[in-house]
Amino acid sequence: QVQLVESGGGLVQAGGSLRLSCAASGRTFSRYAMGWFRQALGKEREAVAVISWSGDSTYYADSVKGRFTISRDNAKNTVYLQMNSLKPEDTAVYHCAADRDYARVVVGDVVAWGQGTQVTVSS
């Protein structure tokens, strides 16, 4: 089973950038599809971005297309979320997720979740 630890969250002004990292344990990381989800206070969790194990396929929520980029480095067992042009509505706890099935990551039906990292965007 893969274990996930996020980092890189913080406070940033609107229009700024942050890069989140998710470090995974386990020797089979390269076989997992990975995703980033977020949950704002009082709202449901939503999928932000997903990447296949090979990196060939990606999914983005409409609200972040053109601003966020998901990537992975299988040699470092790490997945990243580069967030640019941040908006106050991007404020949320961001969680990393993993599953061997790409489609299951998209819908949030996964075998592993990270503990989350807070992103706060001030106006």
Q: What is the pLDDT of residue 30?
A: 87
Q: Which residues of the chain have pLDDT under 70?
A: none
Cβ neighbours around 74 below 10 Å, total? 15
Tokens of 69: 């980029």
Alpha-helical segments (H) within the chain: 102-106
Q: What is the pLDDT of residue 42?
A: 95
Q: What is the pLDDT of residue 31?
A: 92
Contact 32, 98 (CB under 8 A): yes
